[in-house]
Every structure is written in structure tokens, then in C-alpha cells.
Amino acid sequence: MNRIFLAPFAAMVLAGCGAPAVIPGSLDDTASVQAQSATRIVGTVAKSTLAGQTVLTMSLEAKRPLLKNTAQDYTFYTFMDKETRRWRGSGSGSRLFLGKDGGIYISSGPTNTELWYRVGTYQSNGLVVGLPLSYTLDGEHAFDVSNAAIHLRIYHAYQSRTSSELEWSRKVPRLFEVN
């Protein structure tokens, strides 16, 4: 009778051998790291009002597997001295304006349209609101996604080591106006 119970007991004990141990919490951490590394920032053509006129802009969506997607029609930005790799400042946010020259521009703020900075380039056969937009950011600029927002990290070469502002241009880019 002992032999009858011994064989199933041995099979049950050996069934777990060779299986990886499950450590509580490690699965969540791994999934989080994988989700952050697999995040894609998708740009789509949008329209916004600027100084009383409707112009084309780029809206952003962070596509994140296993996490909630984040979408916004502007970007917060921070800038770093490219040479010293030290953060120099930040802006509250700006829309990403599409220039007729193929450039993506930010303005110095939501109401100040006198200062401009080029952050990237886009390619498109036709600009139709709602369609995806192929783009690349200039230099080392990169998008960074937090839990609730998409930030633009701008790496900029400064004229002086004590400067705390981006080298803005006063030349207004030619933007696409929507009738």
C-alpha cells in the first residue's frame, strides 16, 4: 500500500523542479522597464489657433504597452547645455508648430509668439489633420514620457557658460495656415 501512495507523492514533489522561482513584485518591475523601453512617440497633424489664425501643429501620443497611453497637443520642454551636460532651464509648454520649410518649431510660450526655436524636421506627402506624421528630432533632442505628460529634452550648445536661456530666433517661421 505504501508503494501506491509513494509514486504519486514523488511525482508531485518533482513536478516543480526546474521551474523558475516567482518572486513577488519582480514581474511588475520587469513589465514596467519593458514598457518604458518600448514606448513610441507618435506624431499626428493637428490644428491650433495662434495669434487669431488657425495653423497646423503636431500632436503627440506616447504608445506604451502595458501602461496607459498619453496624448497631448503641446510639449513641456527642458534644456541642457550640450557641452557641460547640465540642465539650464525649462519652459512651461509650447505647441509643436509645422513650418513650410519642413521644420518643427516651439515658441517661447503659449502667448508669446515672438521667439522661436527649431527642434526637428518632418516629412509628409500631404498634411491632413488627424493623419500620422513622420518626424525626426534635431541633434540629441529626445522625448521623455512621465506618468502624465510628454516632455521634450533639448540639448543645446550655449554661447556662454552662464547663459540660462535657449538661443531663440526672432525670425517667425512660415507656418501652414488653415482656411
Q: What is the pLDDT of residues 131-166, one digit of tens each?
A: 999 999 998 899 988 878 898 988 876 655 555 466
Which strands make up the sheet holding 87-94, listed edge to edge?
87-94, 75-81, 150-156, 142-145
Neighbours of 131 (CB within 10 A): 11
Q: What is the pTM of this model?
A: 0.72
Tell me the DSSP string of 97-128.
EEBTTSEEEEESSSS--S-EEEEEEEE-S---
C-alpha cell at 175: 507656418
Q: How many domains does the chain have?
A: 1
Any domain includes 7: no
pLDDT, residue 42, reads 94
Any domain includes 171: yes
Any domain includes 103: yes
Domain that holds residue 178: 43-179
Any domain includes 58: yes
pLDDT, residue 37, reads 63
Any domain includes 35: no
DSSP state of 149: -
Spatial CA neighbour of 62 closest among 147, 128, 141: 147
Q: Residue 51: pLDDT band by 50, 70, 90 thresholds?
A: confident
pLDDT, residue 84, reads 72
pLDDT above 70 for 62: yes
Any domain includes 118: yes
When the pLDDT of each residue in the chain is averaged and rounded to a whole number, the result is 77
CA 122 to CA 104: how far, in whole Å?
Answer: 7
Any domain includes 172: yes
Cβ atoms of residues 152 and 76 within 8 Å: yes
